[in-house]
Amino acid sequence: MGAVAAPWRALARQGHRSEETGSSDIWALRDASFEVADSEVFGIIGRNGAGKSTLLKLLSRIVMPTTGRAIVRGRVGTLLEVGAGFHPELTGRDNVYLSGSILGMTREEITRKFDEIVDFSGVERFLDTPVKRYSTGMYLRLAFAVAAHLEADILIVDEVLAVGDAEFQMKCLGRMQAVAGEGRTVLFVSHNMAAVRSLCHRACVLDTGRIVRTGDVHDCIGYYLQWHVDRQDPVIQFDTPAGRGPRMTSAVLLCEGRPAIRILMGNILGIQVSFRSDAPLHVPRVGFIVTNEAGAAVLSANNRYQSSPRYDTPVQSGTISLELGAVPLMPGRYSVSLFLGDAPGHDSHVAEHALWFEVLEQDLWGTGLGPDSGASQLWWPTRFHFSL
């Protein structure tokens, strides 16, 4: 029987613990009450610093709550980091035993599962080599293999899937799905919405230490994606002082036709630019550059290089729609810089990093796997055909 019933009223504070409750205290978690039923796979979603890790650490007893209460029925296994307790000087075999026992397995359990663990890791040839001589990939595979064979009623898992190469990630995800299918209770934290969606039944959304939504996993993911307008606006208004040449008055980022700053991979993206010009013009020249977080320009377009529509009668104001289609952007944060001018080679209004948006991972192909963001800056929708 594995279930967590956690009527948290208020939980741990970061930093010093003292009896006085001054206003300078920051609560890592507050008003976070929820229940997880036996053999349910429960996702915990939230931004960095929302309190997800604190919640997992409280439930696995790594940190102690300042106040509040949790009731846990069944044996808890914690997987917050792959390779917890691994020691570089010890051999692979020794580390399986050491890490396994730190995670809470008995010697007999490890012995019983030893072959399975080694088989899963694929490092049997190097079992008697100190792990300090392992490659990173081998090390991670062995470490995950130990964790994946932990026999617990309740598994508390934090992002451990994000290890190794694509092939091993697939194996990890498959193993997690198998664990979930065995009727074990799982609490799962991840930034990877694709993984959360494919693994979890129910979820909760955490924001600054509070649970803002609990329920069906699709509902929670949808809520999480929509509710970030506080960070930045999908609309930007420009001050338009009188000047030579056309000026932008406002610009909007559109996802599937609606203003948005968070989009899922593969969503249809659009930009709408409103402009004003003292001198009437036939063809406003407009362009954009999408820049990733590292500052690299990854996408751009400008109607000065392609055949462009034109206003039959010159206008002094109007709106331009840029339809980008389904952009092959990897998950991450991007900014959009906008350029407007009245003649090729002359920009009368440059708005660098005017709009901001975030691309979130989505299970594009129903495999639970996203494209490998280490391989390229863009993913490309490609059809594969096999023939003899």
Partner 1 sequence: MPATDSKRSLHRAESVDDSVLEILPEHGFPKLGLKELWRARHLFQFFVWRDIKIRYAQTVLGILWVLLQPMATMVIFALVFGRLAGIPSDGVPYPAFVLVGLVAWTFFSSAVVAATNSLVEQANVIGKVYFPRLFVPLAPIASGLLDAGIAVTLMVPVLAILKLVPSLGPLLLLPLLFLVAAGAAAGVGAGLAALNLRYRDFRYLVPFLVQGWMFASPVVYPTSLVPEGYRLLYALNPMVGVIDGCRWAILGTPAPGIALVGISAASAAVLLLIGCFYFRWAERTMVDVG
Please, which of residues 19-78 interact with partner 1 by CB under 8 A? 57-78
- For 361, the 3-state DSSP assignment is coil
Note whether 255 and 355 are within 8 A (CB): no
Interface mask toward partner 1 for 290-319; x: CB under 8 A: ------------------------------
Q: Give the residue carrying structure tokens 């919640």.
A: 55
CA 239 to chain centre: 35
Note whether 240 and 250 are within 8 A (CB): no
Q: How far is the CB of 38 from partner 1 (least distance, A)?
A: 10
* Contact flag: residue 375 with partner 1 (CB under 8 A): no
Q: Using CB under 8 A, pick the residue from 20, 89, 128, 182 that binds partner 1.
A: 89
Q: Give the residue carrying structure tokens 């019983």.
A: 112
Q: How far is the CB of 57 from partner 1 (least distance, A)?
A: 7
Which of the 8 DSSP states describes residue 10?
B
* Pair of tokens at residue 310: 């034109």
Burial of 18 (0-12, 13-18, 19+ CB in 10 A): exposed
- Helix (H) or strand (E) holding 69, with range, is none
By beta-carbon proximity to partner 1, the closer residue of 126 and 339 is: 126
Please, which of residues 109-128 interact with partner 1 by CB under 8 A? 109
Q: How far is the CB of 174 from partner 1 (least distance, A)?
A: 23
* Contact flag: residue 163 with partner 1 (CB under 8 A): no
* Pair of tokens at residue 297: 């320009």
By beta-carbon proximity to partner 1, the closer residue of 58 and 172 is: 58
* Contact flag: residue 15 with partner 1 (CB under 8 A): yes
Q: Using CB under 8 A, pick the residue from 130, 245, 259, 332 that binds partner 1.
A: 130
Q: Give the residue carrying structure tokens 């991972």.
A: 361
Phi, psi of 330 (to 5 degrees): -75, 160
Pairing mode of beta strands 235-237, 247-255: antiparallel
Q: How far is the CB of 98 from partner 1 (least distance, A)?
A: 6
Q: How far is the CB of 153 from partner 1 (least distance, A)?
A: 5
* Contact flag: residue 90 with partner 1 (CB under 8 A): yes
Size of the site for partner 1 (CB under 8 A): 50
By beta-carbon proximity to partner 1, the closer residue of 22 and 309 is: 22
Note whether 98 and 110 are within 8 A (CB): no
- For 148, the 3-state DSSP assignment is helix
Note whether 158 and 43 are within 8 A (CB): no
By beta-carbon proximity to partner 1, the closer residue of 77 and 164 is: 77
Q: Using CB under 8 A, pick the residue from 33, 47, 93, 104 that binds partner 1.
A: 104
Q: How far is the CB of 143 from partner 1 (least distance, A)?
A: 12
Q: How far is the CB of 86 from partner 1 (least distance, A)?
A: 9
Q: Using CB under 8 A, pick the residue from 7, 49, 106, 226 that binds partner 1.
A: 106
* Contact flag: residue 244 with partner 1 (CB under 8 A): no
Name which of 358, 361, 364, 379 is nearest 253 in CA terms. Answer: 358
Alpha helices in 200-341, H assignment, sequence order = 217-226
Q: Using CB under 8 A, pick the residue from 81, 93, 308, 378 that binds partner 1.
A: 81
* Pair of tokens at residue 190: 């991840």
Please, which of residues 134-153 interact with partner 1 by CB under 8 A? 151-153
How far is residue 298's CA from residue 149's CA, in Å, rounded to a whole number? 41
- The residues binding partner 1 (CB under 8 A) are 1-2, 14-17, 57-78, 80-81, 84-85, 87, 89-90, 94, 97-98, 101-104, 106-109, 130, 151-153
